Amino acid sequence: MPDTTTDTLEGPLAGTLVVDLSRALAGPHAAMMLGDLGARVIKIENPGTGDDTRGWGPPFVGPAENPQATYFLSCNRNKESVALDLKSDDGVQVLRALVERADVLVENFRPGVLDRLGFSVEELHRLNPRLVVLSITGFGHDGPESRRSGYDQIVQGEAGLMSLTGSGPEDPQRVGVPIADLLAGMNGAYGALAALYERERTGQGKVVRTSLLSAVVGVHAFQGTRTTVAHEVPAAQGNHHPSIAPYGLFSCRGGRVQISVGSEKLWRTFAQAFGIDPERAGFASNADRVRNRPAVIAAVEEAFASYGPEELLTRLEQIGIPAGKVRTLDEVYAWEQVRSQGLVVGVEHEVLGPVELPGPAVRFFAPGDADETTRRAHAAPPVLDQHGGSVRAWLGTTGPGTTPRPKEARR
């Protein structure tokens, strides 16, 4: 990434400085989202090893003597990397200088770790009263289990998501991406944005706290109210919606398609088009169809048996039934609709050269959609300490030194 300042980037957060002390995924994802919005993000990493995800593979890509983990590439675009030993005088000096200039600090240490490093919330706000501190933990900052380490799959299980995912109640499955981490990062980014907005009114930075546990419980949606209000305990039931039928993945000749028949009007249109009596006993209402799901699935798949997948999708589109295929990820990234939405971005990596990355999910436009104001120039995830020299020069701090402080000088 070229040397930059907070004034040279585009996007709604241009002029904002984010210090990213986090590692692994939840915090880095939050910081990357802020970078996608135009913030300058300076990522602080451990000397020598860097973020844990630099070693998470395979797959690794690039030269054998300098392999790059694709996991790290997934959550660190639009950032600069500075390696700091936060137990050294130099590391403390550089971080203090960054905190004094920053708008947001992102951290996902376990509760108490940042305090022991000498950067408690009180100290951070003494250095910079306008600083927004985004803090992400596994199970929350307080409560009886706050000190537990938070790892995505463990939280997916503990927060109930795995009990809802899989072919049936005896087959709990994790979601195919680290969804607890990703949702915690998204919640953190949106909380940080709210705190920045509030700061415009109050002049004071706030502490924003979220967790992987909060992230998963926060998206239980209708399954949550099914539990708390209807007092039912939901369980996994494969690729069919628990409250709507027919809605799910259905077999046809030589393949499968997904359909969503989400209203009684759509049901009548669908049933009549495929030779199913919409008023048949047990099929007449959505509640009836949910109660008689196996019979509905059988009737739909019998009607689909003479259609190949593409032919069936064409027919469903003709009659206005929401439908789709199950794409592999290589098909997704080659899909013109995905590329038209800016969901693939090209960057120039220090080691790998030109590569394509998944892109940001939000776009911005001037009134009337005349001009897109989304950040257009994206930077590749940095190699370790790629920007150490340029950031130090910008801060006016001394060169690196990794001699640990005497014990009595540490906090």
Which pLDDT tens digit goes with each residue over 234-243? 999 999 999 9
Residues 198 and 291 placed together within one structural domain of the fold? no
Residue span of the structural domain in which 103 resides: 17-219+337-409
407 pLDDT exceeds 90? no
Burial zone of 56 (CB within 10 Å; 0-12 exposed, 13-18 middle, 19+ buried)? middle
Residues 178 and 50 placed together within one structural domain of the fold? yes
- For residue range 78-109, list pLDDT tens digits in order: 999 999 999 999 999 999 999 999 999 999 99
Q: Domain for residue 137, yes or no?
A: yes
405 pLDDT exceeds 90? no
Q: Domain for residue 311, yes or no?
A: yes
Residues 102 and 201 placed together within one structural domain of the fold? yes
Residues 155 and 185 placed together within one structural domain of the fold? yes
- 264, 299, 324 — which closes off a domain? 324
**In total, how many domains does the chain have?**
2
Distance (Å, rounded) from C-alpha 386 to C-alpha 81?
A: 6
- For residue range 205-250, list pLDDT tens digits in order: 999 999 999 999 999 999 999 999 999 999 999 999 999 999 999 9
Token pair belonging to 276: 């199913």
Residues 382 and 312 placed together within one structural domain of the fold? no
- For residue range 150-184, list pLDDT tens digits in order: 899 999 999 999 999 999 999 999 999 999 999 99
- 302, 324, 346 — which closes off a domain? 324
Residues 301 and 367 placed together within one structural domain of the fold? no
Can you tell me the mean pLDDT for 283-305?
97
Mean pLDDT of the chain, nearest integer = 93
Residues 341 and 212 placed together within one structural domain of the fold? yes
Q: Domain for residue 145, yes or no?
A: yes
Task: Quickly state the pLDDT bin for 10 (edges 50, 70, 90).
Answer: confident
Residues 275 and 343 placed together within one structural domain of the fold? no
378 pLDDT exceeds 90? yes
Q: Give the pLDDT of residue 336.
A: 97
The percent of residues in the chain predicted with pLDDT above 70, rounded, is 94
The answer to whether the beta carbons of residues 382 and 43 sit under 8 Å apart is yes
Task: Please count the other Cβ atoms lying within 10 Å of the Cβ belonging to residue 99.
Answer: 21
CATH of the domain at 315: 3.30.1540.10
202 pLDDT exceeds 90? yes
Q: Give the pLDDT of residue 334.
A: 97
Q: Give the pLDDT of residue 8.
A: 58
Residues 284 and 397 placed together within one structural domain of the fold? no
The answer to whether the beta carbons of residues 85 and 93 sit under 8 Å apart is no
The percent of residues in the chain predicted with pLDDT above 90, rounded, is 89
pTM confidence score: 0.91
- For residue range 320-374, list pLDDT tens digits in order: 999 999 999 999 999 999 999 999 999 999 999 999 999 999 999 888 766 888 9
CATH of the domain at 385: 3.40.50.10540
The answer to whether the beta carbons of residues 69 and 53 sit under 8 Å apart is yes
- 282, 301, 324 — which closes off a domain? 324
Report cis status (omega within 30 of 0) of the bond before 246. Answer: yes
Residues 56 and 163 placed together within one structural domain of the fold? yes
What DSSP state is assigned to residue 54? G
Residues 98 and 208 placed together within one structural domain of the fold? yes
Residues 105 and 147 placed together within one structural domain of the fold? yes
Q: Domain for residue 80, yes or no?
A: yes
Give catalytic residue positions: 181
Q: Give the pLDDT of residue 111.
A: 85
